[in-house]
Chains A and B, each alone.
Chain A
Amino acid sequence: MIELVGVNKHFGLHHVLKDINLDVPSGQKLVIIGPSGSGKSTLIRCINMLEKPSSGTVTVDGIEVTAHRAPIAKVRQQVAMVFQSFNLYPHKTVLENVTLAPIVVSGVSREEATESGLRYLERVGLSEKADKYPAQLSGGQQQRVAIARALNMHPKIMLFDEPTSALDPEMIQEVLEVIIGLAQSGITMLVVTHEMGFAKEAADRVIFMDDGMILEDGTPEHFFENPQNDRTKLFLSKILR
Protein backbone atom coordinates (compact mmCIF):
# COMPACT_ATOMS: atom_id res chain seq x y z
CA MET A 1 0.00 0.00 0.00
CA ILE A 2 2.86 2.34 0.85
CA GLU A 3 6.38 1.94 -0.43
CA LEU A 4 9.38 4.15 0.30
CA VAL A 5 12.57 3.45 -1.62
CA GLY A 6 15.85 5.19 -0.81
CA VAL A 7 14.16 8.23 0.70
CA ASN A 8 16.41 11.02 1.91
CA LYS A 9 15.37 14.34 3.36
CA HIS A 10 17.59 17.29 4.11
CA PHE A 11 16.59 20.46 5.91
CA GLY A 12 19.49 22.69 4.99
CA LEU A 13 22.57 20.96 6.37
CA HIS A 14 20.46 18.70 8.56
CA HIS A 15 20.10 15.16 7.18
CA VAL A 16 16.74 14.15 8.66
CA LEU A 17 15.94 10.94 6.75
CA LYS A 18 18.79 8.70 5.66
CA ASP A 19 18.06 6.27 2.85
CA ILE A 20 14.76 5.03 4.23
CA ASN A 21 13.24 1.88 2.73
CA LEU A 22 9.85 0.89 4.01
CA ASP A 23 7.03 -1.27 2.72
CA VAL A 24 3.66 -1.09 4.43
CA PRO A 25 1.11 -3.66 3.23
CA SER A 26 -2.59 -2.87 3.06
CA GLY A 27 -4.35 -3.00 6.41
CA GLN A 28 -1.22 -2.95 8.52
CA LYS A 29 -1.14 -1.04 11.81
CA LEU A 30 2.38 0.35 11.94
CA VAL A 31 3.63 2.21 14.99
CA ILE A 32 6.71 4.38 14.65
CA ILE A 33 8.69 4.98 17.82
CA GLY A 34 11.83 6.95 18.48
CA PRO A 35 13.33 9.90 20.32
CA SER A 36 12.37 13.44 19.30
CA GLY A 37 14.22 14.63 16.25
CA SER A 38 14.70 11.09 14.96
CA GLY A 39 12.76 11.83 11.77
CA LYS A 40 9.53 9.93 12.54
CA SER A 41 7.21 12.86 11.81
CA THR A 42 9.15 13.79 8.69
CA LEU A 43 8.81 10.19 7.52
CA ILE A 44 5.02 10.13 7.66
CA ARG A 45 4.79 13.68 6.29
CA CYS A 46 6.66 12.43 3.20
CA ILE A 47 3.86 9.95 2.55
CA ASN A 48 1.27 12.68 1.86
CA MET A 49 3.96 15.02 0.55
CA LEU A 50 3.60 17.65 3.25
CA GLU A 51 7.37 17.26 3.06
CA LYS A 52 8.95 16.63 -0.29
CA PRO A 53 11.76 14.04 -0.08
CA SER A 54 15.14 15.31 -1.26
CA SER A 55 15.65 12.03 -3.11
CA GLY A 56 14.08 8.59 -3.41
CA THR A 57 10.55 7.55 -4.31
CA VAL A 58 7.33 7.27 -2.37
CA THR A 59 4.51 5.18 -3.83
CA VAL A 60 1.04 5.25 -2.31
CA ASP A 61 -1.64 2.84 -3.50
CA GLY A 62 0.15 2.36 -6.81
CA ILE A 63 0.77 6.06 -7.47
CA GLU A 64 4.30 7.42 -7.24
CA VAL A 65 3.66 10.67 -5.39
CA THR A 66 7.26 11.81 -5.75
CA ALA A 67 6.94 11.75 -9.55
CA HIS A 68 6.76 15.00 -11.49
CA ARG A 69 3.15 16.19 -11.77
CA ALA A 70 1.81 13.30 -9.70
CA PRO A 71 -1.90 13.67 -8.82
CA ILE A 72 -1.02 14.51 -5.23
CA ALA A 73 -4.33 16.13 -4.30
CA LYS A 74 -6.14 12.94 -5.36
CA VAL A 75 -3.81 10.81 -3.26
CA ARG A 76 -4.22 13.11 -0.26
CA GLN A 77 -7.96 12.45 -0.28
CA GLN A 78 -7.12 8.78 0.32
CA VAL A 79 -4.50 9.54 2.97
CA ALA A 80 -5.98 11.27 5.99
CA MET A 81 -3.74 12.87 8.59
CA VAL A 82 -4.29 13.58 12.26
CA PHE A 83 -1.96 16.23 13.66
CA GLN A 84 -0.37 16.69 17.05
CA SER A 85 -2.00 20.12 17.40
CA PHE A 86 -5.40 18.99 15.96
CA ASN A 87 -5.52 21.83 13.41
CA LEU A 88 -9.30 21.95 13.36
CA TYR A 89 -10.75 24.87 11.41
CA PRO A 90 -11.65 27.32 14.21
CA HIS A 91 -14.14 29.33 12.14
CA LYS A 92 -16.22 26.25 11.34
CA THR A 93 -18.52 24.22 13.58
CA VAL A 94 -17.60 20.66 14.47
CA LEU A 95 -19.95 19.31 11.80
CA GLU A 96 -18.62 21.74 9.19
CA ASN A 97 -15.07 20.70 10.06
CA VAL A 98 -16.03 17.13 9.33
CA THR A 99 -17.96 17.82 6.12
CA LEU A 100 -16.06 20.68 4.44
CA ALA A 101 -13.43 18.72 2.54
CA PRO A 102 -15.75 15.88 1.49
CA ILE A 103 -18.16 18.44 0.00
CA VAL A 104 -15.66 20.87 -1.52
CA VAL A 105 -12.76 18.59 -2.43
CA SER A 106 -14.36 15.19 -3.05
CA GLY A 107 -17.63 16.50 -4.41
CA VAL A 108 -19.83 14.47 -2.08
CA SER A 109 -23.34 15.88 -1.66
CA ARG A 110 -24.03 17.87 1.47
CA GLU A 111 -26.66 15.39 2.69
CA GLU A 112 -24.36 12.45 2.24
CA ALA A 113 -21.38 14.17 3.86
CA THR A 114 -23.54 15.27 6.79
CA GLU A 115 -25.00 11.83 7.29
CA SER A 116 -21.63 10.08 7.29
CA GLY A 117 -20.08 12.93 9.26
CA LEU A 118 -22.64 12.56 12.04
CA ARG A 119 -22.03 8.82 12.02
CA TYR A 120 -18.30 9.34 12.55
CA LEU A 121 -18.92 11.96 15.23
CA GLU A 122 -21.11 9.37 16.93
CA ARG A 123 -18.29 6.87 16.63
CA VAL A 124 -15.85 9.21 18.42
CA GLY A 125 -18.58 9.97 20.98
CA LEU A 126 -19.19 13.59 20.05
CA SER A 127 -22.38 13.75 18.01
CA GLU A 128 -23.97 16.07 20.59
CA LYS A 129 -21.17 18.61 19.94
CA ALA A 130 -21.89 18.88 16.20
CA ASP A 131 -22.97 22.52 16.39
CA LYS A 132 -20.20 23.69 18.73
CA TYR A 133 -17.02 25.45 17.62
CA PRO A 134 -13.60 23.84 18.23
CA ALA A 135 -12.69 26.46 20.86
CA GLN A 136 -15.65 25.25 22.96
CA LEU A 137 -14.20 21.74 23.21
CA SER A 138 -11.46 20.22 25.35
CA GLY A 139 -8.21 19.13 23.73
CA GLY A 140 -9.22 15.48 23.81
CA GLN A 141 -12.57 16.28 22.22
CA GLN A 142 -10.89 18.39 19.54
CA GLN A 143 -8.57 15.55 18.64
CA ARG A 144 -11.52 13.15 18.42
CA VAL A 145 -13.23 15.59 16.06
CA ALA A 146 -10.01 15.68 14.02
CA ILE A 147 -10.19 11.90 13.77
CA ALA A 148 -13.82 12.08 12.65
CA ARG A 149 -12.81 14.70 10.09
CA ALA A 150 -10.12 12.36 8.79
CA LEU A 151 -12.52 9.40 8.69
CA ASN A 152 -15.16 11.32 6.76
CA MET A 153 -12.78 11.40 3.79
CA HIS A 154 -13.19 7.59 3.75
CA PRO A 155 -9.43 7.20 3.55
CA LYS A 156 -7.54 4.02 2.75
CA ILE A 157 -4.63 5.18 4.88
CA MET A 158 -4.52 7.18 8.11
CA LEU A 159 -1.42 8.94 9.36
CA PHE A 160 -1.26 9.92 13.02
CA ASP A 161 1.49 12.39 13.91
CA GLU A 162 1.87 12.17 17.70
CA PRO A 163 -1.89 12.43 18.20
CA THR A 164 -1.74 12.52 22.01
CA SER A 165 1.43 14.53 22.60
CA ALA A 166 -0.35 17.87 22.98
CA LEU A 167 -3.00 16.52 25.35
CA ASP A 168 -3.34 16.76 29.11
CA PRO A 169 -2.70 13.34 30.67
CA GLU A 170 -6.34 12.75 31.61
CA MET A 171 -7.41 13.15 27.97
CA ILE A 172 -4.90 10.83 26.38
CA GLN A 173 -6.91 7.69 27.07
CA GLU A 174 -10.13 8.86 25.40
CA VAL A 175 -8.22 9.58 22.19
CA LEU A 176 -6.21 6.35 22.30
CA GLU A 177 -9.40 4.35 22.76
CA VAL A 178 -10.81 5.84 19.57
CA ILE A 179 -7.62 5.01 17.66
CA ILE A 180 -7.53 1.49 19.09
CA GLY A 181 -11.14 1.08 17.98
CA LEU A 182 -10.15 2.14 14.46
CA ALA A 183 -7.35 -0.39 14.45
CA GLN A 184 -10.03 -3.10 14.32
CA SER A 185 -11.00 -1.90 10.84
CA GLY A 186 -9.25 -2.71 7.58
CA ILE A 187 -7.72 0.71 7.23
CA THR A 188 -3.94 1.04 6.90
CA MET A 189 -2.59 3.01 9.84
CA LEU A 190 0.77 4.64 10.57
CA VAL A 191 1.02 6.05 14.06
CA VAL A 192 3.91 8.10 15.37
CA THR A 193 3.61 7.97 19.15
CA HIS A 194 5.36 7.83 22.49
CA GLU A 195 2.56 5.69 23.95
CA MET A 196 4.16 2.28 24.42
CA GLY A 197 0.95 0.79 25.79
CA PHE A 198 -0.80 1.71 22.58
CA ALA A 199 1.98 0.12 20.52
CA LYS A 200 1.65 -3.12 22.45
CA GLU A 201 -2.11 -3.20 22.19
CA ALA A 202 -2.89 -1.99 18.68
CA ALA A 203 0.19 -2.39 16.48
CA ASP A 204 0.98 -5.38 14.36
CA ARG A 205 4.35 -3.91 13.48
CA VAL A 206 6.67 -1.51 15.28
CA ILE A 207 9.60 0.34 13.81
CA PHE A 208 12.15 2.23 15.88
CA MET A 209 13.85 5.26 14.38
CA ASP A 210 16.85 7.20 15.54
CA ASP A 211 19.00 9.74 13.77
CA GLY A 212 17.04 9.46 10.53
CA MET A 213 17.33 5.69 10.20
CA ILE A 214 15.09 2.71 10.88
CA LEU A 215 17.01 0.68 13.44
CA GLU A 216 14.45 -1.91 14.46
CA ASP A 217 11.55 -3.38 12.53
CA GLY A 218 9.31 -6.17 13.74
CA THR A 219 6.28 -7.25 15.72
CA PRO A 220 5.50 -5.57 19.04
CA GLU A 221 6.61 -8.74 20.85
CA HIS A 222 9.93 -8.66 19.07
CA PHE A 223 10.33 -4.96 19.73
CA PHE A 224 9.57 -4.95 23.43
CA GLU A 225 10.97 -8.35 24.42
CA ASN A 226 13.83 -9.03 22.08
CA PRO A 227 15.22 -5.84 20.55
CA GLN A 228 18.43 -6.33 18.56
CA ASN A 229 19.84 -2.84 18.25
CA ASP A 230 21.73 -1.30 21.16
CA ARG A 231 20.11 2.07 20.70
CA THR A 232 16.67 0.47 20.83
CA LYS A 233 17.61 -1.23 24.07
CA LEU A 234 18.87 2.04 25.51
CA PHE A 235 15.71 3.86 24.45
CA LEU A 236 13.45 1.19 25.92
CA SER A 237 15.38 1.08 29.17
CA LYS A 238 14.84 4.82 29.54
CA ILE A 239 11.15 4.66 28.70
CA LEU A 240 10.02 1.44 30.36
CA ARG A 241 11.02 1.92 33.93
Chain B
Amino acid sequence: MTELLERIGFLQQGPFSVPRWEALFASMDLLWDGALVTLLVASLGLALALALGTIIGVMSASQWKIPRALARAYVEFYQNTPLLIQVFMIFNAIPILFTGMFIPVITIGILGVGMYHGAYIAEVVRAGIQSIGRGQLEAAISQGFGYIGAMRYIIIPQAMRVVLPPLTNQAVSLIKNTSVLAVIAGGDLMYAGDAFAGRYGHYGPTYIVVGLLYFVMCFPLARLARRLESRSKVA
Protein backbone atom coordinates (compact mmCIF):
# COMPACT_ATOMS: atom_id res chain seq x y z
CA MET B 1 0.00 0.00 0.00
CA THR B 2 2.67 2.48 0.95
CA GLU B 3 4.56 1.33 -2.07
CA LEU B 4 1.59 2.19 -4.27
CA LEU B 5 1.27 5.60 -2.62
CA GLU B 6 4.91 6.22 -3.24
CA ARG B 7 4.44 5.23 -6.86
CA ILE B 8 1.65 7.72 -7.42
CA GLY B 9 3.40 10.28 -5.30
CA PHE B 10 4.38 12.07 -8.51
CA LEU B 11 0.75 13.16 -8.73
CA GLN B 12 1.04 15.06 -5.45
CA GLN B 13 4.40 16.67 -5.87
CA GLY B 14 7.19 17.09 -8.37
CA PRO B 15 7.18 18.32 -11.98
CA PHE B 16 4.06 16.35 -13.03
CA SER B 17 1.86 16.86 -9.96
CA VAL B 18 -1.90 17.36 -10.25
CA PRO B 19 -1.90 21.02 -9.16
CA ARG B 20 0.45 21.83 -12.01
CA TRP B 21 -1.92 20.15 -14.47
CA GLU B 22 -4.85 22.09 -13.02
CA ALA B 23 -2.96 25.35 -13.34
CA LEU B 24 -2.16 24.56 -16.96
CA PHE B 25 -5.72 23.64 -17.91
CA ALA B 26 -6.91 26.92 -16.34
CA SER B 27 -4.56 28.80 -18.68
CA MET B 28 -5.06 26.89 -21.89
CA ASP B 29 -6.09 30.08 -23.71
CA LEU B 30 -2.44 31.12 -23.70
CA LEU B 31 -1.50 27.95 -25.53
CA TRP B 32 -4.34 28.25 -28.02
CA ASP B 33 -3.20 31.76 -28.89
CA GLY B 34 0.35 30.49 -29.29
CA ALA B 35 -0.81 27.63 -31.50
CA LEU B 36 -2.66 30.11 -33.74
CA VAL B 37 0.48 32.20 -34.15
CA THR B 38 2.47 29.06 -34.95
CA LEU B 39 -0.08 28.04 -37.58
CA LEU B 40 -0.02 31.51 -39.11
CA VAL B 41 3.79 31.67 -39.23
CA ALA B 42 3.98 28.12 -40.54
CA SER B 43 1.47 28.58 -43.36
CA LEU B 44 2.84 31.92 -44.58
CA GLY B 45 6.40 30.66 -44.06
CA LEU B 46 5.57 27.60 -46.13
CA ALA B 47 4.15 29.75 -48.91
CA LEU B 48 7.36 31.80 -48.95
CA ALA B 49 9.53 28.67 -48.81
CA LEU B 50 7.65 27.10 -51.74
CA ALA B 51 7.98 30.24 -53.87
CA LEU B 52 11.67 30.69 -53.07
CA GLY B 53 12.38 26.98 -53.36
CA THR B 54 10.78 26.72 -56.79
CA ILE B 55 12.60 29.76 -58.18
CA ILE B 56 15.97 28.80 -56.71
CA GLY B 57 15.53 25.13 -57.61
CA VAL B 58 14.79 26.06 -61.24
CA MET B 59 17.83 28.35 -61.20
CA SER B 60 20.15 25.66 -59.89
CA ALA B 61 18.92 23.15 -62.49
CA SER B 62 19.46 25.60 -65.33
CA GLN B 63 22.30 25.60 -67.81
CA TRP B 64 23.31 29.21 -67.14
CA LYS B 65 26.32 29.76 -64.90
CA ILE B 66 25.34 32.92 -63.05
CA PRO B 67 21.83 31.91 -61.90
CA ARG B 68 23.24 28.51 -60.97
CA ALA B 69 26.06 30.03 -58.91
CA LEU B 70 23.65 32.39 -57.12
CA ALA B 71 21.33 29.51 -56.32
CA ARG B 72 24.20 27.37 -55.03
CA ALA B 73 25.44 30.19 -52.79
CA TYR B 74 21.96 30.68 -51.34
CA VAL B 75 21.42 26.99 -50.67
CA GLU B 76 24.83 26.43 -49.13
CA PHE B 77 24.51 29.47 -46.88
CA TYR B 78 21.09 28.57 -45.51
CA GLN B 79 21.71 24.84 -45.23
CA ASN B 80 25.01 25.17 -43.42
CA THR B 81 24.22 27.76 -40.77
CA PRO B 82 21.85 27.23 -37.82
CA LEU B 83 18.33 28.56 -38.21
CA LEU B 84 18.55 30.10 -34.77
CA ILE B 85 21.44 32.33 -35.81
CA GLN B 86 19.68 33.31 -39.03
CA VAL B 87 16.58 34.36 -37.14
CA PHE B 88 18.68 36.19 -34.55
CA MET B 89 20.38 38.09 -37.39
CA ILE B 90 17.09 39.10 -39.01
CA PHE B 91 15.84 40.27 -35.62
CA ASN B 92 18.94 42.20 -34.57
CA ALA B 93 20.82 43.12 -37.72
CA ILE B 94 18.05 44.57 -39.85
CA PRO B 95 17.16 47.42 -37.46
CA ILE B 96 20.87 48.36 -37.47
CA LEU B 97 21.38 48.04 -41.23
CA PHE B 98 18.18 49.90 -42.00
CA THR B 99 18.04 52.30 -39.11
CA GLY B 100 14.78 52.34 -37.28
CA MET B 101 13.15 49.74 -39.49
CA PHE B 102 10.75 47.76 -37.36
CA ILE B 103 9.75 44.28 -38.31
CA PRO B 104 6.96 42.57 -36.38
CA VAL B 105 8.09 39.36 -34.73
CA ILE B 106 5.64 37.26 -36.72
CA THR B 107 7.13 38.60 -39.95
CA ILE B 108 10.58 37.68 -38.72
CA GLY B 109 9.34 34.16 -38.12
CA ILE B 110 7.85 33.94 -41.59
CA LEU B 111 11.05 35.25 -43.20
CA GLY B 112 13.21 33.03 -41.02
CA VAL B 113 11.59 29.65 -41.65
CA GLY B 114 10.60 30.68 -45.21
CA MET B 115 14.15 31.43 -46.32
CA TYR B 116 15.64 28.50 -44.39
CA HIS B 117 13.26 25.90 -45.77
CA GLY B 118 13.32 27.63 -49.16
CA ALA B 119 16.91 26.39 -49.40
CA TYR B 120 15.92 22.80 -48.61
CA ILE B 121 12.93 22.92 -50.95
CA ALA B 122 15.20 24.29 -53.69
CA GLU B 123 17.28 21.12 -53.39
CA VAL B 124 14.16 18.97 -53.54
CA VAL B 125 12.93 20.85 -56.61
CA ARG B 126 16.33 20.62 -58.32
CA ALA B 127 16.48 16.86 -57.77
CA GLY B 128 12.91 16.56 -59.07
CA ILE B 129 13.69 18.52 -62.23
CA GLN B 130 16.83 16.49 -62.85
CA SER B 131 14.85 13.26 -62.49
CA ILE B 132 12.88 14.14 -65.64
CA GLY B 133 14.55 12.85 -68.80
CA ARG B 134 16.48 15.26 -71.01
CA GLY B 135 14.19 14.40 -73.95
CA GLN B 136 11.28 16.23 -72.32
CA LEU B 137 13.16 19.52 -72.22
CA GLU B 138 14.40 18.98 -75.78
CA ALA B 139 10.90 18.27 -77.05
CA ALA B 140 9.59 21.42 -75.40
CA ILE B 141 12.49 23.58 -76.62
CA SER B 142 12.11 22.18 -80.15
CA GLN B 143 8.48 23.34 -80.12
CA GLY B 144 9.54 26.89 -79.32
CA PHE B 145 9.12 26.89 -75.53
CA GLY B 146 11.66 28.97 -73.62
CA TYR B 147 13.37 27.53 -70.55
CA ILE B 148 10.86 29.02 -68.12
CA GLY B 149 7.87 27.96 -70.23
CA ALA B 150 9.24 24.43 -70.57
CA MET B 151 9.68 24.27 -66.80
CA ARG B 152 6.22 25.61 -66.12
CA TYR B 153 4.20 23.51 -68.55
CA ILE B 154 6.25 20.36 -69.00
CA ILE B 155 9.02 19.71 -66.50
CA ILE B 156 7.66 20.92 -63.15
CA PRO B 157 4.23 19.27 -63.48
CA GLN B 158 6.03 15.96 -64.00
CA ALA B 159 8.55 16.67 -61.25
CA MET B 160 5.68 17.36 -58.79
CA ARG B 161 4.96 13.64 -58.52
CA VAL B 162 8.49 12.90 -57.38
CA VAL B 163 8.77 15.99 -55.25
CA LEU B 164 5.52 15.94 -53.28
CA PRO B 165 6.48 13.46 -50.53
CA PRO B 166 9.79 15.20 -49.62
CA LEU B 167 7.98 18.56 -49.84
CA THR B 168 5.46 17.40 -47.27
CA ASN B 169 8.30 16.33 -45.00
CA GLN B 170 9.72 19.83 -45.35
CA ALA B 171 6.37 21.27 -44.27
CA VAL B 172 6.50 19.12 -41.14
CA SER B 173 9.96 20.28 -40.11
CA LEU B 174 9.00 23.84 -40.99
CA ILE B 175 6.14 23.72 -38.47
CA LYS B 176 8.47 22.44 -35.76
CA ASN B 177 11.15 24.96 -36.65
CA THR B 178 8.80 27.90 -36.09
CA SER B 179 9.60 27.20 -32.43
CA VAL B 180 12.89 29.12 -32.78
CA LEU B 181 10.70 32.21 -32.52
CA ALA B 182 10.46 31.45 -28.81
CA VAL B 183 14.04 32.64 -28.47
CA ILE B 184 13.23 36.12 -29.73
CA ALA B 185 9.89 36.52 -27.95
CA GLY B 186 7.73 35.43 -30.84
CA GLY B 187 4.35 34.72 -29.24
CA ASP B 188 4.26 31.31 -30.92
CA LEU B 189 3.22 28.06 -29.27
CA MET B 190 6.68 27.22 -27.93
CA TYR B 191 7.06 30.73 -26.56
CA ALA B 192 3.61 30.72 -24.97
CA GLY B 193 4.33 27.38 -23.35
CA ASP B 194 7.74 28.44 -22.16
CA ALA B 195 6.51 31.73 -20.75
CA PHE B 196 3.67 30.10 -18.83
CA ALA B 197 5.76 27.21 -17.58
CA GLY B 198 8.64 29.41 -16.52
CA ARG B 199 6.52 31.59 -14.30
CA TYR B 200 5.63 28.84 -11.79
CA GLY B 201 7.84 26.02 -12.90
CA HIS B 202 4.99 24.05 -14.54
CA TYR B 203 7.31 22.65 -17.17
CA GLY B 204 6.19 19.03 -16.99
CA PRO B 205 2.52 19.27 -18.01
CA THR B 206 3.13 22.27 -20.26
CA TYR B 207 5.78 20.59 -22.39
CA ILE B 208 3.66 17.46 -22.69
CA VAL B 209 0.67 19.46 -23.94
CA VAL B 210 2.76 21.73 -26.18
CA GLY B 211 4.45 18.65 -27.64
CA LEU B 212 1.03 17.11 -28.26
CA LEU B 213 -0.19 20.24 -30.02
CA TYR B 214 2.83 20.17 -32.36
CA PHE B 215 2.13 16.51 -32.97
CA VAL B 216 -1.48 17.23 -33.89
CA MET B 217 -0.33 19.83 -36.42
CA CYS B 218 2.44 17.68 -37.94
CA PHE B 219 1.06 14.17 -37.89
CA PRO B 220 -1.59 14.60 -40.63
CA LEU B 221 1.07 16.06 -42.92
CA ALA B 222 3.46 13.23 -42.17
CA ARG B 223 0.68 10.76 -42.98
CA LEU B 224 -0.04 12.61 -46.20
CA ALA B 225 3.63 12.34 -47.16
CA ARG B 226 3.50 8.59 -46.64
CA ARG B 227 0.32 8.30 -48.74
CA LEU B 228 1.78 10.39 -51.57
CA GLU B 229 4.93 8.30 -51.48
CA SER B 230 3.10 5.02 -51.95
CA ARG B 231 0.97 6.60 -54.67
CA SER B 232 3.95 7.90 -56.63
CA LYS B 233 5.45 4.40 -56.44
CA VAL B 234 2.34 2.91 -58.02
CA ALA B 235 2.22 5.48 -60.82
A contact residues vs B (CB 8 Å cutoff) = 48, 50, 73-74, 76-77, 79-81, 83, 85, 87-91, 100-101, 104-106, 149, 153
Contact = CB atoms under 8 A, between A and B. Distances in A.
Q: Tell me the interface secondary structure of chain B in the complex.
A: helix
A4 to B, nearest CB: 18
A106 B145 CA distance: 9
A123 B71 CA distance: 46
A91 B158 contact: yes
Interface of B: 133, 135-136, 138-146, 149, 153-154, 157-158
B136 A74 contact: no
A105 B135 contact: no
Given A89-B154, A90-B158, A100-B153, A50 B138 contact: yes
Nearest to B136: A87
Contacts of B139: 81, 83, 87-89
A83 B153 CA distance: 19
Contacts of A104: 145, 149, 153
A83 B149 CA distance: 20
Contacts of B138: 50, 83, 87
A90 B136 CA distance: 9
22 contacts: A73-B145, A74-B144, A76-B141, A76-B142, A77-B143, A81-B139, A83-B138, A83-B139, A85-B135, A87-B135, A89-B136, A89-B140, A89-B154, A89-B158, A90-B158, A91-B158, A100-B153, A101-B143, A101-B144, A105-B145, A106-B144, A153-B144
Given A83-B139, A87-B138, A91-B158, 9 more contacts: A73-B146, A76-B143, A77-B143, A77-B144, A79-B142, A87-B133, A100-B154, A104-B153, A153-B143
